Amino acid sequence: MRNILIVEDDQSIAKLQKDYLELSGFSVKIVNNGPDSLQALQEASFDLIILDIMLPEMDGFDVLKTIREKEDIPVLLVSARTEEIYKVNGLGLGADDYITKPFSAAELVARVKAHLNKFDRMKERFGGVDQGSMIQVRGLEIHKDSRRVFVNGEEVSLAHKEFDLLLFLFENANRVFNKEELFDRIWGMDALGDASTVTVHIARIREKIEENPSKPQYISTVWGAGYRFMV
């Protein structure tokens, strides 16, 4: 049974989500604020998080930042805010989806199932034990089995999508991909958001792995065409 954590301060919405998810065979825990969600993650293991943005004490963006420092599981942001900047910020921080309120409980269940299935496929492709080799180029090491990255022997922390994007570019080295292609490959064609989140993720990866992000030696920008990993 898959375990779902709902972080939602509106009790009626949280209860409706919980009921539908439990009818679909999930085990569900509800917390009402950011600090309690982080405490819940320390006490138990969850397969997916449904995270509201507008929360008391600690907003969803801050919760997401903290989660991505330690957890590599799907996070679905939900919010009544429809402005594009909220979606871009959320996806840029490592959310796997952004769902705008109001939405149907049936749609939420469908998205939860889709993201769990996609996450399982990504683990099989990138994180399987029998594919657990380390790949290396010019001081950069990517450990596919443990999803860890080292630069000149020192570990750097990448969010879930940052790791997937870096690994995809590395495994297709010297090939140029535009933002739309990368968004489709990493986030999926049915994901909410747009290709601008790719630019945000590339910038963050460069900050973490490049000695000089303004003169990258790993991920280069091919002006007017896209990005490529140079080997």
Spatial separation of the C-alpha atoms in residues 125 and 128, rounded to whole Å: 6
151 and 200 co-located in one domain: yes
118 and 161 co-located in one domain: no
Q: Looking at the whole model, is its pTM more than 0.75?
A: no
126, 141, 158 — which closes off a domain?
126
Backbone angles phi, psi at 205, to 5 degrees: -60, -45
99 and 193 co-located in one domain: no
pLDDT of residue 122: 67
pLDDT of residue 56: 87
Task: Tell whether omega for the bond before 216 is within 30 degrees of 0, i.e. cis.
Answer: no
Residue 113 sits in a domain of what CATH number?
3.40.50.2300
122-126-130-132 Cα dihedral, nearest 10 degrees:
-150
Extract the tokens encoding 49. 């998080």
82, 111, 126 — which closes off a domain?
126
155 and 180 co-located in one domain: yes
pLDDT averaged per 10 residues in sequence order, the chain, 231 residues: 93 94 95 94 91 92 87 88 87 87 90 88 53 76 88 90 92 88 80 75 94 92 90 75
Contact 4, 46 (CB under 8 A): yes
77, 107, 126 — which closes off a domain?
126
pLDDT of residue 216: 93
pLDDT of residue 52: 96
115 and 143 co-located in one domain: no
Structurally, the chain folds into a number of domains equal to 2
Structural domain of residue 18, as residue ranges? 3-126
72 and 144 co-located in one domain: no
